[in-house]
């Protein structure tokens, strides 16, 4: 088994095929989209492949250490940040091929006009623990 992070971006991913902002969809299309996402996660729980899923607020803050005895420096949020993560799902699957297959299904979530969004998702393998048998 290997873990993969499926990353969804607010910004920074190539444009989706069906790229319409959600507030311009029909309300029932939003409902259908949310149901698709919930059903997808529920299905992966049943197959024993779901680990975690979280959504992130669009705005964050940059923080860095500023030396002994000083409070951390904060900056942002920056409107021009190129890459903005919207959320993730962590899956634990038998193969890279399975991870790709699942990301493909997630990208087919319905959007405007009830048609698949064809959204680009980023699939990132976790760095695993070293194996016990190495030779």
Partner 1 sequence: MDEALLRSLTPAVLGVLVRRGADFAAAEDAVQEALVEAVRVWPADPPRDPKGWLVTVAWRKFLDATRADATRRRREDLVEQEPAGGPASEVDDTLRLYFLCAHPSLTPSSAVALTLRAIGGLTTRQIARAYLVPETTMAQRISRAKRTVSGVRFDRPGDVATVLRVLYLVFNEGYSGDVDLAAEAIRLTRQLAAAIDHPEVAGLLALMLLHHARRAGRIGPDGGLVPLAEQDRARWDGGLIAEGVGILQAALVRDRLGEFQAQAAIAALHADAPTAEETDWVQIVEWYDELVRLTDSPVVRLNRAVAVGEADGPRAGLAALAALDDSLPRHAAVAAHLRERDGDLVTAARLYAEAARKAPNLAERDHLTRQAARLNARLNARGPDPGSRRG
Verify binding: residue 84, partner 1, rule CB under 8 A: no
Verify binding: residue 26, partner 1, rule CB under 8 A: yes
What strands lie across the sheet with 122-125, from one edge to the other? 50-55, 84-93, 2-11, 122-125
Interface stretch with partner 1, choices 22-30, 71-79, 101-109, 117-125 (CB under 8 A): 22-30
Residue 102 in tokens: 């699942």
CB of 97 to partner 1, least distance (A): 30
How does DSSP assign 73-112, residue by residue?
EEE---TT-S-EEEEEEEEEES-HHHHHHHHHHHHT-B-G
Verify binding: residue 56, partner 1, rule CB under 8 A: no
Choose between 81 and 100: whose C-beta lies nearer to partner 1: 81
Residue ranges binding partner 1 (CB under 8 A): 21-27, 29-31, 34-35, 38, 55, 57-59
């Amino acid at each position: 088994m290997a873990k993969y992070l499926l990353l969804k971006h607010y910004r920074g991913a190539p444009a989706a095929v069906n790229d319409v902002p959600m507030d311009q969809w029909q309300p029932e299309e939003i409902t259908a989209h949310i149901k698709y996402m919930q059903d997808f996660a529920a299905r992966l729980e049943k197959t024993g492949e779901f680990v975690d899923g979280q959504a992130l607020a669009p705005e964050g803050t940059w923080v860095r250490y500023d030396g002994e005895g000083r409070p951390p420096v904060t900056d942002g949020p920056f409107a021009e940040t190129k890459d903005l993560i919207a959320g993730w799902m962590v899956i634990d699957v038998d193969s890279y091929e399975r991870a790709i297959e699942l990301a493909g299904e997630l990208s087919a979530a319905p959007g405007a006009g009830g048609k698949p969004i064809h959204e680009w998702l980023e699939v990132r393998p976790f760095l695993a623990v070293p194996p016990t048998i190495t030779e």
